[in-house]
A and B are shown apart, each in its own frame.
Chain A
Amino acid sequence: MGDFSYIAISRQSGLMKEMSLVANNMANSDTVGYKRQGAIFAEHIAAIGSTNQSGSPEHSLSMGHLAAHSPDFGAGSMRPTGGSLDIAIEGEGFFMVNVDGQTQLTRAGNFMTDAEGRLINVDGNAVLDSAEGEIQIPIDAGEIFIAEDGSISANGVELGRIGVATADPQTLSRQGNNNYVAREGFAPSEFTLVRQGYLEDSNVDPMTEISRMIEVQRYYDAGQKIFDMEDDRIKQVISTIRQIS
């Protein structure tokens, strides 16, 4: 197989991966607090053949491959639910949840209380306050009111305060279950506002995803055409050689 094929294959498999990203965005178009992903292609240079005296390759091959995803942390629209423990973050920041002893970040604010009255998310992980401690809401607390600064109160008694952390979105690693791990740490934020009775919808825009989908499909088709053309070229070379000999 010639160099050409490697270039085309890396491009085509990158496009397949991008299609998976589009499919994942689309599948999560109704996931609470989901943030869409884009894809970035980069040039990948590989050395081929012999090297010269200084050790650098005499020939190199440039390939385009899928190098990174570009997370889009734009806000999703706010959906009023009326749930007293449904909370949405306005602006940047994340809720903190304790997953097996590790603090993970999430924008999904569909919380509830468990049998012991702890504030938890839908997977049963404790929601943390700004000091990364658990939040306790007594069962007989009555009507729960969550202020914009995250403080939870019932009948004028403050029960705790939901912590909001900020982290560089570029350093977040996706874990599934709406959670992220902040590789380079996060810092508690004092200025982020939360809204009780709202959930943040997914920020996937179907229009953008469909047009990306069509784009990827067309590029892929174009890539296949190049394979065909290369095939024709090789065929012609072979038949020419045969005629000469």
Chain B
Amino acid sequence: MNALKIAATGMAAQQTRVDVISNNIANMSTTAYQPRVAEFADLIYQQHLTPGTVTSQTGTIAPAGVQIGMGVRPSTVSIEVVQGPLSATGGDLDLAIEGKGFFQIDLPSGETAYTRDGKFYQDAEGLIVNSDGYALSDNITIPSDARSISISLDGEVTAFFDNAAEGQQIGTITMTVFSNPKGLEALGGNLFRETSASGNPIVSEPGTEGVGTMRQGFLEDSGVDVVEEISELIEAQRGYELNSKIISAVDEMYAATTRIR
């Protein structure tokens, strides 16, 4: 009954792929969304005749053997770390990261989450928070009498007051990088959490090597390429159909078997 089960693993794998694609397409307008990709690996092999088995007294060996695979499994659904296109919004607290870094957000649980979504607001006290109201870990409070806010490429936040020509530095927005951003755990709400696979967060000054710079007045768009996703979807659908063809073919073979007199 192998072939049936093998084809079923194939159908399940393609189903996973379709799930991943539909989530990507659903997030085609999500700020700073990083597309996910499903990748597969073959399952273990049943060694019917191990290659290298001795086949005669003179020491000849089976050159290839018979190894029958048990199908396929999704090996990873990894985060494609891409730089989404930037779109100008003009918002004072709209920040886009050009580079590999993440912003740090304090969750209500006390944990730190990471995001590339730079759509920030100020709450009643002037604290910089994300769209869920969670504070930016750098704990920057904008004075209520500030006329405007300027954020430099390297994250320095400067407030300008009514009469002064010179601004006053009120804090620095730092960024974090991970040695393996593919290993981050997605929490939803554009947030990620560190895992043992992602490595420890390395807090760095924006503008330093590998971290990237901050762009005020821009937001990073979703990294989803719709044309690519649609063609992937068609491929996944065809893959599903091919595996289902195997199922019906094997079904007919078994039907023939049960007719043996």
**Chain A residues at the B interface, C-beta cutoff of 8 Å:** 12, 15-17, 19-24, 26-32, 34, 37, 40, 66-71, 81-83, 108, 110, 112-117, 122-124, 137, 139-143, 155, 170-178, 183-184, 206, 209-210, 213-214, 216-217, 220-221, 224, 227-228, 231
Contacts and interface: CB of A to CB of B under 8 A. Distances in A.
Q: Which 6 A-B pairs have the closest CB atoms?
A: A27-B10, A115-B199, A24-B69, A23-B6, A139-B179, A176-B44
Nearest to B48: A17
* B interface bracket (residues with beta carbon within 8 Å of A): 35 or more
A68 B61 CA distance: 12
Given A31-B40, A176-B43, A116 B199 contact: yes
B238 interface: yes
Main secondary structure of the interface of B (DSSP, over half): mixed
Nearest to A217: B249
A24 B42 contact: yes
Contacts of B238: 206
A30 B253 contact: no
Interface stretch (B22-30, B76-84, B132-140, B154-162): B76-84
Interface string B34-73: 0001011111110111111000000000111111111110
A62 to B, nearest CB: 17
Contact of A227 (B44, B66, B208, B260): B260
Interface of B: 2-4, 6-7, 9-10, 13-14, 17, 37, 39-45, 47-52, 62-72, 75-76, 78, 80-82, 177-180, 182-183, 196-200, 202, 204, 208-210, 235-236, 238-239, 242-243, 245-246, 249-250, 252-253, 256-257, 259-261
Given A32-B40, A40-B64, A221-B256, A140 B50 contact: no
Contacts of A140: 177, 202, 204, 208-210
Contacts of B82: 82
A126 B80 CA distance: 20
A224 B246 contact: no
A83 B252 CA distance: 43
Contact of A68 (B49, B75, B179, B196): B49
9 contacts: A17-B66, A26-B7, A29-B239, A123-B75, A139-B199, A140-B208, A171-B52, A174-B69, A206-B238
